[in-house]
Amino acid sequence: MAIHVKDQADFNAKLQEAGDKLVVVDFFATWCGPCKMIAPKLEEMANEMTGSIVVLKVDVDECEDLAVQYNISSMPTFVFIKHGATVETFSGANYDKFEITFECIEELKEDLEWKMIYVGSAESEEYDQILDSVYVGPIPEGKHMFVFQADPPNVTRIPENDAIGVTVVLLTCSYRSQEFIRVGYFINNEYTDPELRENPPSPPQFDKVTRNILGSEPRVTRFKITWEDPNTLQQQEQVEEENISTVNDPGLINENSNSLTAMEV
């Protein structure tokens, strides 16, 4: 289970007790909506991985000295510590992940490229952000599954008027640089505080915004592509052209006929 830290001394003692385990420190605040949203997932992770990690929860209002020590400016912020040294830090409550299952009816010799794209504004694609991309392959025939997870979008690149409300996250897949499927999930960005929902502040207070993915209502678009290797297709076309030329050349037909006649004699 996740362990609540009381103060600096308690924190140092917990790091010492962790030994060789990875320590995940959750800097949170009781008034932080995203912190409340991710808390159950953090507790679940702590219970499932109790043999390999230690999860510490630090309330930034109760342990201001620790927040200053680790330069915490937004919540939640997660600090990963190993043997007393910080190995990674990131902020945000984006634990949403997509479990992708697909089936190949025959082997694909090259990788599939999957992308996760956040649509920052319906007005222009310039605000789209590629949150992550991953290559999967080569792909043998059969059913396959993997988990695709990405960091949240950079809020500074989202127009203020589009920060709150409904937008879209796109999952796309391409083969040989040809996109053949696009799945869109609607996302609702909203404040947890009723007062903020009624009177949205300007600029938006992103640390008090929660995001809900409407995963049950995706929109799917498919595109026709060329699955075969272009070089192989070109070679096949050349062979077909040569065969057609051979059949249509009277001189070659006469020559072959003469050879057959000579062999028969």
Per-residue pLDDT tens for 210-247?
A: 777 765 578 899 999 999 877 765 665 555 555 544 44
Q: Which of 35, 63, 104, 173 is catalytic?
A: 35
Q: The tokens of 216 are what? A: 């049950």
Q: How far apart are the first and last CA of the chain?
A: 94
Looking at this protein, which amino acid is placed at residue 209? V
CB 175 within 8 A of CB 112: yes
The whole-number pLDDT of residue 194 equals 83
**The tokens 């999930």 sit on which residue?**
185
Instruction: Output the pLDDT for position 100.
Output: 86
- Report d(CA 240, CA 234) in Å as an integer: 10
Which residue has better confidence, 260 or 33?
33
Provide mean pLDDT across the span 190-197.
84
Quickly tell me which residue has 């409407």 as its tokens. 214
Cα angle: 37, vertex 40, 44; to 5 degrees = 145
pLDDT one-digit tens code per residue, 109-133: 999 999 999 999 988 999 999 999 9
Classify strands 3-4 and 53-59 as parallel, antiparallel or unpaired.
parallel
- Is 35 considered catalytic here? yes
pLDDT over 90, % of the chain: 40
Distance of CA 194 to the CA centre of its chain: 31
Q: What distance in Å separates the CA atoms of residue 4 and residue 10, rounded to the nearest whole number?
A: 9
Both tokens assigned to 237: 């076309």
Q: What is the pLDDT of residue 229?
A: 78
178-188 mean pLDDT? 92
How many Cβ atoms sit within 10 Å of the Cβ of residue 139?
18
Question: Under a CB-based contact definition with an 8 Å cutoff, are residues 160 and 204 in contact?
Answer: yes
Using pLDDT thresholds of 50, 70 and 90, give the confidence band for residue 209: confident
Which residue from 149, 158, 168 is spatially nearest to 206, judged by alpha carbons? Answer: 158
Closest CA to 4 of 55, 75, 74: 55
| Residue 173 is among the residues annotated as catalytic for this protein | no
For residue 72, the SS3 value is coil
pLDDT tens digits along 144-173: 888 788 888 888 899 988 999 889 999 999
Per-chain mean pLDDT for the chain:
82
